[in-house]
Amino acid sequence: MTKIDYGQRLARVRAALISDNVDAIFVTPGSDLRYLTGYDALPLERLTCLAITSETTARMLVPRLELPAAEHHELDRFGIEVIAWDETDDPIALLNTVTGPIKSAAVNDAMWAQKALGIQDSFGAHLKPAGRLLSDIRAVKDDAEIAAVAAAGAAIDEVHNNMSLWLRPGRTEREVARDIAEAILASGHQRVDFVIVASGPNGASPHHDSSDRIIGMGEPVVVDIGGTMPSGYCSDCTRMYVCGEPPAEFVQHFETLKTAQEHAVAAVAVGMSGAEADLLARNILEANGLGEYFVHRTGHGLGLDTHEEPYIVASNHLPLVEGNVFSIEPGFYIPGKFGARIEDIVALTSDGLVNFNNTSHELKILNS
């Protein structure tokens, strides 16, 4: 990735604080902190916390044990003052001292309740989840982020392209999943986030994971896989496989799904709401008798987290904008029979829509 201007990201947060009439935001370890500083801090019981106000220098409290790791990121280059606290200190009291009095504050959504309640008690201020204050900023990806997601997409495509090496009848889902996990790391990912291998009736559970069930001939298999790259950005892609001849009923439904998914990818556009985008594939599935079996939203944003804003769901009436990156993954799940899902990660850019997953959408029939 090209170098990221974290100072600019901090400036956008300050502007959002002023706009929302919030005095400060407190951010503890997780993807929000990494997004704002580049520091992937350990989520410990010891408090690491970035404090940003609209008026003062951004400050980050870190346990002295973690000071070398924080200093490695040279946070002062972006106007962040790092303050170490010792084992005998009260870090939340120190946080109060360095920020000064505040009346209202936001905390990152993933902050531990113990820390959020401690901050609230210490400051006597009204706290609220940061929610859209941060997610609206993170949802608009810059060129470096788009490139990072593209690299993640290419890496996970490589794994799907080699599925015939591992997916065979007579093997268990768990055995196949173990091989896929190794391949995800070999493709350049730093971490395996999930491996779903769902054969036959297990495919009717959207988040099945994997099991000791033996994969049989002619059974459709959902393979949904993803991981995190060294850049911190994630991959996520679902394709469908079968060993031998699939059931005729499944083939008919799958062709409908493929048409719905490809229509949604082609039609989604800037200015369309998440709710409108959700209907692109859903309407086709409903018109063909599969609507009741499409039991989840059409998609989710993707970046430093596998699931983040914007969500492609009926309740999201906010417009999609340039820089949004999200999945388009309609499916159908018929209990006791089978299921299917096709998933691509796409981006809305100034050059139009970009698809980061470019393996075939066809039902791939593997040699037994």
Tens-place pLDDT, residues 151-198: 999 999 999 999 999 999 999 999 999 999 999 999 999 999 999 999
Could you give phi then psi for residue 132, rounded to 5 degrees?
A: -70, -20
> Which residue segments constitute the domains of the chain, with CATH numbers given?
6-138 (3.40.350.10), 143-366 (3.90.230.10)
pLDDT at position 100 is 85
Single-letter amino acid, residue 334? I
pLDDT band at 368 (very low <50, low <70, confident <90, very high): low
- Give pLDDT tens digits for 207-255: 999 999 999 999 999 999 999 999 999 999 999 999 999 999 999 999 9
Name the residue among 257, 239, 273, 249 with its Cα closest to residue 343.
239
> How would you list the strands of the sheet with 344-349, edge to edge?
308-312, 299-301, 325-328, 344-349, 352-355
Q: Say if residue 365's pLDDT is above 80.
A: yes
- Give pLDDT tens digits for 266-278: 999 999 999 999 9
pLDDT at position 367 is 76
Determine the distance from the C-alpha atom of residue 50 to the mean position of all C-alpha atoms in its chain, rounded to a whole number: 22
pLDDT at position 125 is 86
Ranking 3-7, 54-58, 59-63, 139-143 by mean pLDDT, the lowest is 54-58
In sequence order, what are the beta bridge partners of 340?
A: 332
* Both tokens assigned to 364: 């791939």
Q: What percent of the chain has pLDDT over 70?
A: 99
pLDDT band at 1 (very low <50, low <70, confident <90, very high): low
Beta carbons of 67 and 82 less than 8 angstroms apart = yes
- Give pLDDT tens digits for 41-57: 999 999 999 999 987 77
pLDDT at position 24 is 94
- Give pLDDT tens digits for 118-128: 999 999 988 99
For residues 198-204, average pLDDT: 98
For residues 69-87, average pLDDT: 93
Tell me the average pLDDT of the chain.
95
